[in-house]
Amino acid sequence: MKKLFFISILYVQVIVGINALEYGRAIQSAQAGDWQSAQANLITLLVDTPESSELLYDAGVSAYQLGEYEHAQAYFENVAKQEQVSADLNEHAYFNLGNTHVKREQLEDAIAAYEQVLQINPDNEHAQHNLDIVKKMLEQKNQEQQQDQQQDKQKEQENNEQKEQQQQNQSNNHNDQKQSEQQQDQSGSEENGDKQRGENEQKRDSDNSQSEQDRQRDQQNGSPENYQQEQDRKKQFDQRDQQQEATQTEEQNGGQEHESSPSEEKIEESIDAATHENNKQNEDDKQVGAVQNEQQSSEDKYIQMILQAQEEADANANKRMIKRAIDKNLAGKHGQKRW
């Protein structure tokens, strides 16, 4: 890019009413490049004549050379606003004011200052040159600003999309976590259900085992029903024995009172009758036992068979006891029979 033109020399002329010696020292320092000394001398002169347009312009040039662009702008503006100033000094003041605006990146104000120079002197090529450069700088600046704005907008859009994506991911993660918790709860419920079913089956097996043990123990010891049946049979046997003893006692007493005894045929009939009665009783007991056996389980049948065998043995014993009693009653003295 082309450089800006700048008028760095002081507006040297004879200034009435100022210390010529002091002003001369400022000019010498400026020509030697000692702008710090030149500025100090000019400020000393401005104390006595603060409205001198020439001194204000020269102070602006020294401030510009020292990089004090804000002070330089103030000096040049002060000169440009004065009415009683020569056109040449006014042209120089606006020109350097434009350069100061460029240094401060105030491009629109710089363009306005250069255009003001061209109004004063349309043939000022330096002002036209600087104006063209600043316009290009402003155009480039506007393009860069537009690009920056587009980049900022794109970046903001990307940030919003990223933020929305993060929110979506968080929402998905939350939903996944919630679904995972539901699956864990469902799995826990199923495990608890399986555990409960296992416990129920284990308890049922334990109850069945206990029932089997109780049944085997009842089989060995006899169930309450079997025990009651056995007690009833024993009671029936006792009543029958008592009846037989009573019958024997009556027969013995009857034999002593009557001189004649029953015949041997009648004795056999009596024995057969008693035996028949006993067998009939045994048959009845067997029928009762058969009915009861149908109601009992297969394990109880074994006990019933033992009890029936015992009953038959008891019946045979009773038969023998009756026969012995009758034989004893019929026997006479000295081994003779009583007829």
Domain for residue 185, yes or no? no
Q: Which amino acid is at 79?
A: V
Residues 27 and 137 in one domain: yes
Q: What is the pLDDT of residue 336?
A: 53
Last residue of a domain, one of 121, 143, 165: 143
Are residue 26 and residue 125 in the same domain, yes or no?
A: yes
What was the pLDDT predicted at 248? 62
Residue at 172 is within a domain: no
- How many domains does the chain divide into? 2
Does residue 28 fall inside a structural domain?
A: yes
Of the three residues 143, 170, 190, the one that is the final residue of a domain is 143
Contacts 24+ apart (CB under 8 A), 32-40: 35/62, 35/65, 35/66, 36/66, 38/10, 38/62, 39/63, 39/66
What CATH number is attached to the domain comprising 32? 1.25.40.10
Per-residue pLDDT of the chain (339 residues; tens, 9 = 90+): 556 665 545 655 545 456 788 888 998 999 899 999 999 999 999 998 888 999 999 999 999 999 999 999 999 999 999 988 899 999 999 999 999 999 999 999 999 999 999 999 999 999 999 999 999 999 999 999 899 999 998 889 898 898 989 998 888 888 888 888 888 877 777 777 677 777 777 777 776 666 666 666 655 555 555 556 666 766 776 777 677 666 666 655 554 444 444 445 555 565 566 566 666 666 666 665 555 555 556 666 767 787 888 888 888 888 888 888 777 766 655 555 544
Domain match, 315 and 227 both: yes
Yes or no: say if 217 and 210 are a contact pair by the CB < 8 Å rule: no
The pLDDT value recorded for residue 256 is 47
pLDDT of residue 172: 86
* CA-wise closest residue to 282 among 259, 312, 306, 260: 312
- pTM for this prediction: 0.47
* Per-residue pLDDT at 258: 42
Contact 35, 22 (CB under 8 A): no
Mark whether 135 and 249 lie in a shared domain.
no
Residue 163 lies in a domain: no
Q: Which pLDDT belongs to residue 286?
A: 63
Let me know if residue 206 belongs to a domain.
no
- Residue 147 has a pLDDT of 92
Listed residue (133, 65, 125, 129) closest to 100, CA to CA: 65
Same domain? 235 vs 124: no
CA distance 29 to 63: 14
Q: Answer yes or no: is 110 within a domain.
A: yes
Where do the H-state alpha helices sit in the chain? 20-31, 35-48, 53-65, 69-81, 87-103, 107-120, 125-221, 224-257, 264-295, 298-330
Residue 183 inside a domain? The answer is: no
* Pair 128, 229 in one domain: no
Instruction: Write out the residue range of the structural domain in which residue 260 sits.
Output: 223-335
Residue 32 lies in a domain: yes
- Domain finish residue from 143, 178, 208: 143
